[in-house]
């Protein structure tokens, strides 16, 4: 597996506003053999290598820890020919987070690579846009092209948790907590939401698949897996308005994230601190 050996890790005492969060980007899988021609609706530039990384995110404040997206496990990855390089549970433990203690999980959307690992957070409440629930349980899933990015087991898990009273369905914009807000954009899926987070360096936006790569949003070149092109393009403008700068925008699958931000701790590969000052500017 990727990453450091597991072990206890104790954060140094910090002193900051109770509503400010640390943000950790945890890479759990990667696809190195991917080309730029696969990542844009129209690609008139040279076709070059453009790998795709897969992340979950942890938001940590003095009062709570929130997980954003849950990734996929080895079984789900193998079924689609993707290899897990660091199980999500291992990545969380490497930064001192116990999945059993998590009380809240935000799902930006319910595609298979964002909504798996069903048993990892048994005590969590899941936060999903109601439009996403309608989309992935309704007539659109009768169409094989739209359904292919979803796993029925992932959707069934959220439906079951909803019946158990452990899901909150959000509508458009929500003040999730002091320091965290959720914003519906659509575009990539009918119910995709982004997460705006207050940090010590300002407001960071976890764009997730509203922009897979920095190039999608900064060059206004949409990713080809989409539900509504106009929503995706409008979403780019919303993200740029909500984020304090381009370096405050975090795309969902861009490997640059790991080079633009410092490691969570020295020697820990594949886990970055997004609330820290960036080491450079996105390309």
Task: Report the pLDDT value the prediction gives residue 5, as an integer from 0 to 100.
Answer: 36
Tell how strand 173-177 and strand 65-68 pair up. unpaired
Whether 17 has a pLDDT exceeding 70, the answer reads no
Predicted confidence (pLDDT) per residue in 83-113, tens digit: 999 999 999 999 999 999 999 999 999 999 9
The predicted model gives 40-57 an average pLDDT of 90
Whether 269 has a pLDDT exceeding 80, the answer reads yes
Structure tokens at 254: 């861009």
Whether 6 has a pLDDT exceeding 90, the answer reads no
d(CA 37, CA 41): 8
Mean pLDDT of the chain: 92
Task: Report the pLDDT value the prediction gives residue 15, as an integer from 0 to 100.
Answer: 42
d(CA 242, CA 247): 12
Task: Report the pLDDT value the prediction gives residue 4, as an integer from 0 to 100.
Answer: 38
d(CA 143, CA 141): 5
Residue ranges making up the domain that contains 254: 22-273
Task: Give domain status of residue 17, yes or no.
Answer: no
- Contact between 82 and 29 (Cβ < 8 Å): yes
d(CA 115, CA 192): 12
Task: Give domain status of residue 227, yes or no.
Answer: yes
CATH code of residue 121? 3.60.15.10
Specify the DSSP class assigned to residue 84. B
Closest CA to 232 of 186, 277, 278: 186
Domain count, the chain: 1
| Angle (CA) 204 189 256, round 5° | 40
Task: Give domain status of residue 157, yes or no.
Answer: yes
Listed in sequence order, the residues at least 6 apart from 203 whose beta carbon sits closer than 8 Å to its beta carbon are 196, 197, 242, 243, 244, 248
d(CA 20, CA 199): 5
Task: Give domain status of residue 161, yes or no.
Answer: yes
Whether 16 has a pLDDT exceeding 60, the answer reads no
Whether 38 has a pLDDT exceeding 50, the answer reads yes
Put simply, whether the predicted model's pTM sits higher than 0.85 gets the answer yes
Report the SS3 class of residue 154. Answer: helix
For residue 181, report the phi and psi dihedrals to the nearest 5 degrees: -135, 150
Task: Give domain status of residue 282, yes or no.
Answer: no
Task: Report the pLDDT value the prediction gives residue 103, as an integer from 0 to 100.
Answer: 98
């Amino acid at each position: 597996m990727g990453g450091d050996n597991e072990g206890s890790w104790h954060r140094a005492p910090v002193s900051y506003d109770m509503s400010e969060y640390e943000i950790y980007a945890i890479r759990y899988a990667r696809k190195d053999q991917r080309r730029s021609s696969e990542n844009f609706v129209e690609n008139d530039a040279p076709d070059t290598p453009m790998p795709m990384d897969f992340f979950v995110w942890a938001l940590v404040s003095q009062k709570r820890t929130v997980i954003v997206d849950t990734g996929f496990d080895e079984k789900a990855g193998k079924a689609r020919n993707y290899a897990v390089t660091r199980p999500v549970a291992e990545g969380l433990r490497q930064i001192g987070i116990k999945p059993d203690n998590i009380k809240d999980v935000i799902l930006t959307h319910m595609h298979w690579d964002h909504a798996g690992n069903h048993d990892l957070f048994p005590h969590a409440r899941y936060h999903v846009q109601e439009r996403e629930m309608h989309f992935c349980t309704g007539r659109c899933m009768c169409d094989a092209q739209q359904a292919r990015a979803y796993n029925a087991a992932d959707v069934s898990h959220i439906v079951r948790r909803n019946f158990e009273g452990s899901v909150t369905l959000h509508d458009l914009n929500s003040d999730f907590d002091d320091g965290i807000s959720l914003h519906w954009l659509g575009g990539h899926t009918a119910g995709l939401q982004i997460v705006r987070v207050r940090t010590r360096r300002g407001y960071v936006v976890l764009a997730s698949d509203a922009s897979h790569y920095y190039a999608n949003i900064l060059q206004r070149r949409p990713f080809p897996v989409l539900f509504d092109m106009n929503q995706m393009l409008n979403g780019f403008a919303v993200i740029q308005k909500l984020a304090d700068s381009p370096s405050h925008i975090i795309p969902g699958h861009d490997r640059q994230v790991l080079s633009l931000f410092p490691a969570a701790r020295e020697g820990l590969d594949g886990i970055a601190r997004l609330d820290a000052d960036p080491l450079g500017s996105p390309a």
